[in-house]
């Protein structure tokens, strides 16, 4: 069997496994694009790959433990390949690499490359350095002054009809539980012109929906040409003019940055989908202060009232942390009460996980694990009953569905509602990428079933 020499101009196989948030999905796509000119082509399994990248997440404890167990599975594959005279270059990218790079090199010395989220445009030179000699190890967890976006290639594929586009990265808010300001670095907004150009490339490559990404996406304030600065709302209005771009979403937002112009955009930009992820984390003001969230519960509810006034069919999702240090039963009940009042279409909820280097991790008043678990179960059962009610209310309605991919049954297509619900429909005469009005006939655990109406494409 012939094995490609690293650095040779032949085809090599690349396997990327992505953990965590949507920005990591975006970053993985871009890493593949950076490596493509070297001959690397994506494959679906790591077994005999010439290069494996784990693009990691550090947001909660379990996330980094998963990486070490995955590395444990990859190590024998790497040795096998070496025994056959080949080489599997093993790289760990993303936020675990950024936060624990040095420890990772100690704990897993067989990892060839450790790189952070801000340096992957330099992957070709890292691969060259790592493969120059056996045993070379490379670590690059810089925060370069020149942003990586300046050195990334153009987008040539959209990976389907829905695409992600990073517009803002990093965070200056320093919530006391969160590693993001340390792993992704300080807040940075890409220039608006660069984003519009990338959006056009994605639409050209087949995207019909674009989700604008940022850890603090609604804090976006990018250079807009002519010396001015654009807000996220301004950017969304500009993107809405791109022919063929039917749906726009953005995530993740901070309640404090829900500005008047962004709320107004929800009312008058039809491409902006009526579904917003707006994390509040807790329904107790006392806990919000301890979390350094810089907003109160009443501010959040006022923002939601204004959003719903602008766009009455807006559905909401949120993130919650239970068992934050010092959270009393009473504080937790305030969270339940907030959820009862707002009514969420879906939500993510987590037990507080102490992260090294963050202020809350060294708080004395850590909550007992069993108490955290109890609170999480209570909150999740309330949230899932709200989600069920929201999904049930779709039955009998007609909603526009963006058809994304073939389903498992023949003639079946799977798409997404405006509220990101997966919708299964028998619509053999429709094409992927079409937006069709479908009549919702049933609700399943995690999806909706639908049938097409007569002529209704738009
Ligand atoms: N423990 C638990 N959940 C966390 N999140 C962030 N940091 C932690 C932590 N240390 C949650 C927040 C955030 C989401 C992405 O992950 O709810 O909004
Ligand atoms: Fe983390 Fe979001 Fe808080 Fe920033 S605003 S520190 S990303 S939770």
Domain boundary among 113, 140, 167: 140
Is residue 17 lining ligand 2, measured as CB closer than 6 Å? Answer: no
The answer on 102 and 206 residing in a single domain is no
Looking at the domain assignment, is residue 333 inside a domain? no
Q: Rounded to whole angstroms, how far apart are CA atoms 96 and 94?
A: 6
Predicted local confidence at residue 428, as pLDDT: 67
Is residue 435 lining ligand 2, measured as CB closer than 6 Å? Answer: no
Q: Rounded to whole angstroms, how far apart are CA atoms 218 and 216?
A: 6
Predicted local confidence at residue 458, as pLDDT: 47
Is residue 348 lining ligand 2, measured as CB closer than 6 Å? Answer: no
Can you tell me whether residue 327 is helix, strand or coil?
coil
The answer on 114 and 221 residing in a single domain is no
224 with 258: CB under 8 angstroms? no
The answer on 162 and 133 residing in a single domain is no
Which residues, 6 or more positions from 91, have their beta carbon under 8 angstroms from its beta carbon? 51, 52, 53, 54, 111, 112, 113, 114, 115, 123, 126
Domain boundary among 213, 246, 273: 273
Q: What is the pLDDT of residues 99-123, one digit of tens each?
A: 999 999 999 999 999 999 999 999 9
The answer on 126 and 23 residing in a single domain is yes
Question: Can you read off the two tokens belonging to residue 83?
Answer: 């025994």
Looking at the domain assignment, is residue 24 inside a domain? yes
Give the CATH number for residue 446. 2.40.50.140
Is residue 256 lining ligand 2, measured as CB closer than 6 Å? Answer: no
Give the CATH number for residue 237. 3.30.750.210
Residue listed under structure tokens 């020149």: 146
Predicted local confidence at residue 3, as pLDDT: 45
Looking at the domain assignment, is residue 207 inside a domain? yes
The answer on 235 and 171 residing in a single domain is yes
Residue nearest to atom 5 of ligand 2 (CA): 173
The range of the structural domain enclosing residue 411 comes to: 398-452
**Buried/exposed 352-370: b ≥16 CB within 10 Å, e otherwise:** bbebeebbbbebeebbeee
The answer on 164 and 242 residing in a single domain is yes
pTM score:
0.93
Alpha helix positions (H), 276-328: 285-290, 297-310
Looking at the domain assignment, is residue 317 inside a domain? no
Alpha helix positions (H), 114-251: 123-131, 180-183, 192-204, 232-239
Q: What is the pLDDT of residues 185-221, one digit of tens each?
A: 999 999 999 999 999 999 999 999 999 999 999 999 9
What count of other Cβ atoms lies within 10 Å of the Cβ of residue 159? Answer: 15
List, for the chain, all residue ranges whose pLDDT scores fall below the cut of 50.
1-8, 455-458
Looking at the domain assignment, is residue 423 inside a domain? yes
CA of 172 to the centre of ligand 2 (A): 8
Looking at the domain assignment, is residue 299 inside a domain? no
The answer on 134 and 181 residing in a single domain is no
Q: Rounded to whole angstroms, how far apart are CA atoms 215 and 221?
A: 13
Whether cis (ω within 30° of 0) applies to the bond prior to 252 is: yes
Distance of CA 16 to the CA centre of its chain: 16
CA of 338 to the centre of ligand 1 (A): 18
Looking at the domain assignment, is residue 133 inside a domain? yes
> DSSP characters for 3-20?
-PPTTSSS-EEEEEEE-S
Q: Rounded to whole angstroms, how far apart are CA atoms 448 and 346?
A: 15
Domain boundary among 100, 117, 140: 140
Looking at the domain assignment, is residue 55 inside a domain? yes
Predicted local confidence at residue 65, as pLDDT: 84
Is residue 352 lining ligand 1, measured as CB closer than 6 Å? Answer: yes
Strands (E), 69-195: 89-93, 113-115, 138-140, 162-166, 168-169, 188-189
The total domain count for the chain is 3
């Amino acid at each position: 069997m012939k094995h490609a020499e690293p650095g040779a101009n032949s085809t090599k196989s690349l396997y990327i496994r992505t953990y965590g948030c949507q920005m990591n999905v975006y970053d993985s796509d871009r890493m593949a694009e950076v490596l493509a000119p070297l001959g690397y082509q994506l494959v679906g399994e790591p077994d005999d790959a010439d290069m494996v990248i784990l693009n990691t997440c550090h947001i909660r404890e379990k996330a980094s433990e998963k990486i070490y167990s995955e590395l444990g599975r990859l190590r024998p594959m790497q040795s096998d390949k070496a025994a056959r005279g080949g080489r599997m270059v093993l790289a760990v990218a993303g936020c675990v690499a950024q936060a624990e790079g040095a420890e990772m090199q100690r704990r897993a010395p067989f990892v060839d490359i450790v790189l952070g989220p801000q340096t992957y445009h330099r992957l070709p030179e890292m691969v060259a350095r790592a493969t120059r000699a056996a045993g070379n190890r490379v670590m690059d967890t810089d925060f370069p002054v020149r942003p990586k976006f300046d050195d990334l290639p153009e987008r040539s594929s959209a990976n389907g009809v829905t695409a992600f586009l990073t517009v803002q990265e990093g965070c200056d808010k320093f919530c006391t539980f969160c590693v993001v300001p340390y792993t992704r670095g300080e807040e940075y907004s890409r220039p608006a012109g660069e984003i519009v150009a990338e959006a056009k490339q994605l639409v050209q490559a087949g995207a019909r929906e674009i989700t604008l990404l940022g850890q603090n996406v609604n804090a976006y304030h990018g250079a807009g040409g002519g010396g001015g600065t654009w807000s996220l709302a301004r950017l969304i209005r500009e993107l809405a003019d791109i022919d063929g771009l039917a749906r726009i979403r953005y995530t993740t937002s901070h309640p404090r940055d829900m500005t008047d112009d962004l709320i107004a955009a929800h009312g008058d930009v039809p491409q902006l989908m009526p579904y917003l992820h707006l994390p509040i984390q807790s329904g107790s003001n006392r806990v919000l202060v301890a979390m350094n969230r810089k907003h109160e519960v009443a501010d959040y509810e006022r923002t939601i009232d204004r959003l719903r006034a602008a766009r009455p069919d807006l559905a909401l999702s949120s993130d919650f942390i239970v068992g934050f240090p010092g959270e009393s039963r009473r504080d937790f009940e305030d969270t339940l009460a907030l959820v009862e009042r707002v009514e969420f279409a879906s939500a993510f909820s987590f037990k507080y996980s102490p992260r090294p280097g963050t202020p809350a991790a060294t708080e004395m008043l850590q909550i007992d694990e069993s108490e955290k678990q109890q609170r999480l179960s209570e909150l999740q059962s309330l949230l899932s009953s709200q989600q069920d009610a929201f999904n049930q209310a779709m039955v009998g309605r007609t909603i526009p569905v963006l058809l994304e991919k073939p389903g498992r049954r023949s003639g079946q297509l799977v798409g997404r509602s405006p509220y990101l619900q997966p919708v299964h429909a028998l619509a053999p005469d429709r094409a992927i990428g079409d937006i069709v009005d479908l009549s919702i006939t049933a609700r399943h655990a995690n999806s909706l079933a639908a049938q097409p109406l007569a002529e209704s494409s738009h």
